Amino acid sequence: MKAAVVVFPGSNCDRDVRVALEASMGRPPAMVWHAESTLPESDLIVLPGGFSYGDYLRSGAMAAHAPAMREVVARAKAGVPVLAICNGFQIATEAGLLPGLLMSNASLRFVCKDVHLRVEHSQSLFTDCFRAGQVVRMPVAHRDGNYFAEAEVLDALEDEDRIAFRYCTPAGELADGANPNGSIRSIAGIFNETRTVLGMMPHPERLADAELGGEDGKTMLDRIVAALG
Amino acid sequence: MSAPAAPAAPAQAEPAITAELVASHGLSDEEYARIEALLGRAPNFTELGIFSVMWSEHCSYKSSRIWLKTLPTEAPWVICGPGENAGIIDIGDGQAAVFKMESHNHPSYIEPYQGAATGVGGILRDIFTMGARPIANMNALRFGSPDEAKTRHLIAGVVAGIGGYGNCIGVPTVGGACEFHAAYDGNNLVNAMTVGVADAGRIFYSAAAGVGHSVVYAGSGTGRDGIHGATMASAEFASDSEAKRPTVQVGDPFTEKLVLEACLELMATDAIEAIQDMGAAGLTCSSVEMADKGGTGIELDLDRVPVRETDMTPYEIMLSESQERMLMVLKPGREEVAQRIFDKWQVDSAIIGRVTDSGRLVLKAGNAVVGDLPIRPLVDEAPVYERPYLEPAPRAPLAPADLPADPPPMQALARLVGSPDLCSKRWIWEQYDHMVMTDTVQRPGGDAAVVRVHGTDKRLAITTDCTPRYCVADPKLGGAQAVAEAWRNLSAVGAKPLAITDCLNFGSPEHPEVMGQFVGCVLGMGEACRALDFPVISGNVSFYNETNGHPILPTPTIGGVGLIAGSGRMATLAFKAADETVLLIGATEGHLGASLYLRDILGSEAGVPPPLDLAAERRNGDFVRGLIERGLVSACHDVADGGLLVALAEMALATCPAGEPIGVRIAPPAPADDAAPLAAWLFGEDQARYVVSAPAADVPTIMAAARAADVPAQAIGHTGGDALTLDGRGAISITELHRAHEGWLPDYMAAPI
Amino acid sequence: MKAKVHITLKPGVLDPQGKAIGRALASLGFSGVGEVRQGKLIELDLQADDAESARVEVRAMCDKLLANTVIETYTIDLEP
């Protein structure tokens, strides 16, 4: 299996994803600089977290126009799985890979902490290591993670089983107190139509090592790698 | 050398050198006379500006230097002590830890977000300038009284600024301290620390060598921001500090991230001869220091300096404190390699001059020489003052009779854990990305933060400490205690303490009382550093933290770094299981003088701080570290502010995030006529103490080891239940304590600013 | 009465956002763009009797809250 991680100016979780993927794959993924107009052959493309272009205009807005992103969009349309984490999720929405957008957190403050996620749909490459309804723990770290989309879009996402994760309490209940950023309908991650693109604000690569306090992220990455051979 | 010719007048008219102009540059009449004598002529405007920043307190350490020299700076594991951008220690396997702490107090009061953000940016540059990748940020914050109108605004801005910079650049902010006292009204403290890791064989220094080699500027363009920041940091605030506002700098963490990656990539190519960041006093300080350290000269063509504003004068270019700028000397023929890497990272760069053998700083603009100064005198002839100082009169110890009636202990405990100083700082550290780089193995909230050295099993423990109420009561003891507490916090997580950086925050050195505090604190620090083999390897002094004659509490913040070897164990403070034995390590006499209990519960700041026995400190810490190494303890916490009962509460509170809290039950000693009152045993701040928990089966081993090491140890109770219980004196549920502990700061910050 | 407040960084204050936007525009092929400065637009619905008192009021709002006058400047447009 081959993986590629796209690195933008200002990406800062690219190394973290590389380390976690390498642990799962047994060898490192290709690191692709944003200015490249071609991508190496890949079974998985990762858009990592960080502050691409400082997130200065809108989060992800400028990175979405990077040369490498044209190729990412083309590959995604051809069915290559794309895992878009945090700033990567923001870039994916700006690039039109996923609907909706990520607004400023309701608190207007950056938030970094472990959150609980309820797995909403387990029939996808990214989530079939979990059961639907299972509660997992992963960290968030963002200032613009407040997912928003029009009601019709949200209804369609729900009808088509395209909501991957929702923020929840440790017992799996949805509650304002368990939603770290004010995301509409507590949405933490969504799929594209074919469930081959996953955008999520939480960072699976940050809890992929028992010494860091948890391994739910490792469970997810290991399964993706195993499924892609 | 023949008498130097005066440089040509620059194209633009410059102000004539008058007494007023000299005074407005913060130079005394004597200092100015010395400049004229050194030059054999009057300086021009640009040269005057250069002298003023080089000879400012901030750059020259003119009031502090003679005292700083008394601090121990060496140990077998020290690779580089004070004098470079940061200090360096050997952490084995050919790796080095590079660290420093610096203040950004004055700018953070004027514009809290940008002041704090640029403070973080500056200390990060100090670290990567030496070839180290920054791996952790820490900070120590002090604010005025929570009742003061501006405090909330300052906290919100400072915290957002620290997070805004560190989060964007992707270096975790893994911990810190935040405390309050009315003495910081009008003079909050923002001390930022960065730790980096470098290959010990590939460290970069600032000495400009190689006559004829290119001097390269890289990073953001130079603007008019921050002109005279260094002199601002060297003047006390009057109420008209509003008028000083144009000097505020804006931070650009995105650019710094690109500069960081570009510099580390360039450093890997062996193209760099010497490198220095442009911090306080910008291009002036960086070029002068590089030439001074190399024993060379530097010629700069100011027309080639990348600028982002039009019509900038030589004075402005030399004194600008625009952020995210680096100055380096390249090895010959490596200009193209550098250019390619800077272009890749979209970092602006330019060759702006060359190294000379003249021993002079020569500035050219418009084909004319606009400044020509000898380098050595700018640095070495800077004034050094032995300021008069007054030792504070010793305080009277607290007599038990002085103490008002004690409130019930559990009530006092709930108030203390919910007080501004001791409450949970979660509201702050959740705004910092403390997990990026995925090596944070002990997150904020413990005795010390712990981060792995990437790709190894080694871990670095980091802490920032100071107890200003001790420093004001007894500066020498307070200075020593700050060092001892840092050493203790590192020991409490199982780390071997290696070295410290310091950030010495005081009022005006021109006041003998303040100078007395400074001298006492430095002497005390030195004593503790020597006793604990814990040298000072970098640091910074921030004077003039006073407004209208009211100085801050003396605050010598200590940033300590320790190492946990790859095979070593780490301890955390949370209780791990019920029915374990709780032991108190270290002697307890019950010292309430200058304690937090006395101040926050009984309303008095009187008394002398608890005595510090550095030999016992070392013995007890080595013993506790040994227990951790042997895997004999399940949890460990040092006893500090608030004493034993607060320490126990913190160990129980730390169990809350994982689910069902684990409480603790302890038996206070039987009262005897001559014993200290119960409150003194519960809340006294006797030093060199730790609380550990251990399975009952291991207790005999621990007690035998304690006897052998001559370390006082006693079993005081057991873990379990959902409350903190004091036999015969009541109990309080951990849930209730948790509510008090977590509640204060979010509630305080929720009120409108 | 409506007031539109434009808030921008003072001339000479570094504008990292503007700089990054300028770079991104250039990389998208928009040449000929010089300096880019960004700011905020705040629209206010006011109950005011006359333009002069409205302007005084909005200026006070800017100085107190809307603008960070340490680094920002503002202009006020009033529409009846």
How many Å lie between the alpha carbon of A58 and the closest alpha carbon of chain C?
10
In tens, the pLDDT along B548-596 reads: 899 999 999 999 999 999 888 999 999 999 999 999 999 999 999 999 9
> Which tens digits make up the pLDDT trace of B353-391?
999 999 999 999 998 999 999 999 999 889 999 999 999
Which residues of chain B lie closer than 8 angstroms to C8, CB-CB? none
Per-residue pLDDT, A56: 86
Name which of B432, B436, B452 is nearest A16 (Cβ-Cβ). Answer: B436
Contacting partners of chain A (3+ CB pairs under 8 A): B, C
Distance (Å) of CA B551 to CA B400, B480, B514, B546, B732? 31, 21, 8, 4, 40
Please state, in angstroms and rounded to a whole number, the distance separating the CA atoms of residues B353 and B275: 14
* CA atoms within 13 A of residue B178's CA, in its CB half-sphere: 24
CA of B254: how far to CAs of B219, C28, C39, in Å?
A: 11, 19, 18
CA–CA separation, B593 vs B470, rounded Å?
Answer: 9
**Exposure pattern of B531-542 as b/e (b: 16+ CB <10 Å)?**
bbbbbbbbbbbb
Strand partners for B350: B217
- The number of beta carbons lying within 10 Å of the beta carbon of residue B393 is 6
pLDDT at residue B254 is higher than 90 = yes
Set of chain B residues whose Cβ sits within 8 Å of the Cβ of A213? 443
B40's CB contacts (< 8 A; 6+ apart) are B3, B4
pLDDT at B229: 53
CA dihedral B648, B653, B658, B660 (to 10 degrees): 90
Helix, coil or strand: residue B516: helix
CB B240 within 8 A of CB B261: no
What was the pLDDT predicted at B670?
65
∠ CA B453-B457-B461, nearest 5°, is 55
* B47 phi/psi in degrees, rounded to 5: -65, -35
Of B613, B641, B638, nearest to B625 (Cα)?
Answer: B638
Using CA atoms, how far apart are residues B674 and B52, in angstroms rounded to an integer? 61
**Neighbouring chains to B with at least 3 Cβ pairs closer than 8 Å:** A, C
How confident is the model over A190-213, as pLDDT tens digits? 999 999 999 999 999 999 999 999
Distance of alpha carbon C24 from alpha carbon C29, whole angstroms: 9
Given this model, what pLDDT does residue B529 score? 98
C20–B308 C-beta distance less than 8 A: no
Question: What six digits make up the tokens of B436?
Answer: 């990026």
Please give the full DSSP string across A141-173, using - where no structure is assigned: EESS-EEE--HHHHHHHHHTT-EEEEEE-TTS-
- Cβ C24–A65 below 8 Å, yes or no? yes
pLDDT digits (tens, 9 = 90+) for B469-481: 999 999 999 999 9
A132/chain B closest Cα distance in angstroms: 23
DSSP secondary structure of B269-310: TT-EEEEEE--TTHHHHHHHHHHHHHT-EEEEEGGGS-BSSS
pLDDT at position B234, please? 53
Residue B696 CA to chain centroid, in angstroms?
A: 40
CB-based contact C28 A56, cutoff 8 Å: no
Tell me which residues of chain B have a C-beta less than 8 Å from any C-beta of chain C. Answer: 110-111, 114, 220, 223-225, 245, 248-255, 308-309, 322-323, 346
pLDDT at B749 over 60: yes
Q: Is the dihedral of CA B571, B572, B577, B578 positive or negative?
A: positive
Give the amino acid at B543.
Answer: F
- CA B41 vs. chain centroid, Å, equals 41
Tell whether B340 is within 8 A of chain A (Cβ).
no
Query: Tokens in use for A170?
Result: 């440790």
CA distance B162 to B107: 13
AA letter at A144 = D
| pLDDT tens across the length of chain A (229 residues) | 999 999 999 999 999 999 999 999 999 999 999 999 999 999 999 999 999 999 888 888 889 999 999 999 999 999 999 999 999 999 999 999 999 999 999 999 999 999 999 999 999 999 999 999 999 999 999 999 999 999 999 999 999 999 999 999 999 999 999 999 999 999 999 999 999 999 999 999 999 999 999 999 999 999 999 999 8
Binned at pLDDT 50, 70 and 90, residue B244 comes out as very low
Domains of chain C: 2-79 (3.30.1280.10)
Q: Is the pLDDT of residue B3 over 50?
A: no
Please tell me if residue C9 touches chain B, with a CB cutoff of 8 Å.
yes
Does the pLDDT value for residue B432 go beyond 70? yes
Neighbours of A33 (CB within 10 A): 13
Cβ of A62 within 8 Å of Cβ of C16? The answer is: no
The residue to which tokens 């953070």 are assigned: B108
Q: Which of B54-58, B331-335, B511-515 has the lowest mean pLDDT?
A: B54-58
Q: For the segment B407-421, what is each residue's pLDDT rounded down to a tens digit?
A: 889 999 999 999 999
In whole angstroms, give the CA distance from residue B712 to residue B586.
5
| pLDDT > 70 in chain B, percent | 94
Torsion of CA B670, B676, B677, B682, to 10 degrees: -80
Locate the domains of chain A by residue range: 3-228
Taking CA A211 as the corner, what is the angle to CA A205 and CA A215, rounded to the nearest 5 degrees? 45
Residue B360: strand, helix, or coil: strand
Q: Which residues of A are catalytic?
A: 86, 203, 205
| Cβ-defined contact of A54 to B346 (cutoff 8 Å) | no
Best of C27, C30, C40 to substitute, by most chain A Cβ atoms within 10 angstroms, is C27
The yes-or-no verdict on residue B301 having pLDDT over 60 is: yes
| C20, C28, C38 ranked by CB distance to A53: nearest | C20
Confidence of residue B650 (pLDDT cuts 50, 70, 90): very high
Q: List the single residue in C with minimal CA-CA distance to A62.
A: C24
* Inter-chain contacts counted by CB atoms under 8 A, chains B and C: 39
> What pLDDT score was predicted for residue C48?
85
Task: Give the pLDDT confidence score for residue B140 in this predicted structure.
Answer: 98
Q: DSSP code of B465? A: E
Residues C17, A62: C-beta atoms closer than 8 Å:
no
Residues B636 and B492 sit within 8 Å (Cβ to Cβ): yes
The pTM of the full predicted model, rounded to 2 decimals, is: 0.94
pLDDT reading at B246 higher than 60 = no
Using CA atoms, how far apart are residues B270 and B337, in angstroms rounded to an integer?
10
C66 vs B: CB within 8 A: no
State residue B747's pLDDT score: 96
How near does any CA of chain B get to the CA of A80, in Å? Answer: 27
Nearest to C12 among B111, B223, B346 (CB): B223
Gap between the Cα atoms of A16 and A206, Å rounded: 7
* B587 vs B394: CA distance, rounded Å: 24
% of chain B surpassing 90 pLDDT: 84
Please compute, for residue B609, the number of CA atoms within 13 A of its CA located in the half-sphere on the CB side. Answer: 24
Mean pLDDT over each residue of chain B, to the nearest integer: 93
Token pair in block for residue A35: 């200015």
Question: What mean pLDDT do residues B170-175 have?
Answer: 98
Residue of A nearest to C27 (CA): A66
CA nearest B440: which of B450, B430, B448? B450
Q: Which pLDDT band holds residue B149 (cuts at 50, 70, 90)?
A: confident
Q: Which residues of C touch A54 (CB under 8 A)?
A: 16-17, 20
CA A28 to centroid of chain Cα atoms:
19
d(CA B630, CA B694): 12
Quick one: tokens of B327?
């100055």
CB B61 within 8 A of CB B54: no
Higher-confidence residue of A65 and B434: namely B434
Give CA–CA dist B155/B137, Å, rounded.
18
CB atoms closer than 10 angstroms to residue B265: 16
Chain C residues whose CB is inside 8 A of the A57 CB are: 17, 20-21, 24, 38
Q: Touching check for A214 and chain B: CB below 8 Å?
A: no
B5: helix, coil or strand? coil
Measured distance CA(A128)–CA(A121) in Å, rounded? 8
Q: In what order do the strands lie in the sheet with C2-9?
A: C39-45, C2-9, C72-79
Using a CB–CB cutoff of 8 Å, tell me whether C63 touches chain B: no
Nearest to C20 among A54, A65, A66 (CB): A54
Residue B2 — pLDDT band, cuts 50, 70, 90? very low
The per-residue pLDDT for B671 is 58
The class of domain A3-228 in CATH terms is alpha beta
| Confidence check: pLDDT of B75 > 70 | yes
Residue B546 has pLDDT above 70, yes or no: yes
In this prediction, residue C28 has a pLDDT band, given cuts at 50, 70 and 90, of confident
* B173 → chain A, closest CA residue: A112
Q: Where are the alpha helices (DSSP H) in B372-425?
A: 375-380, 409-417
pLDDT at B243: 40
Residues of C with CB under 8 A from a CB of A: 16-17, 20-21, 23-24, 27-28, 38
- Helices then strands, counting H and E runs in chain C, come out as 2, 3
Shortest alpha-carbon distance between residue A151 and chain B (Å)? 30
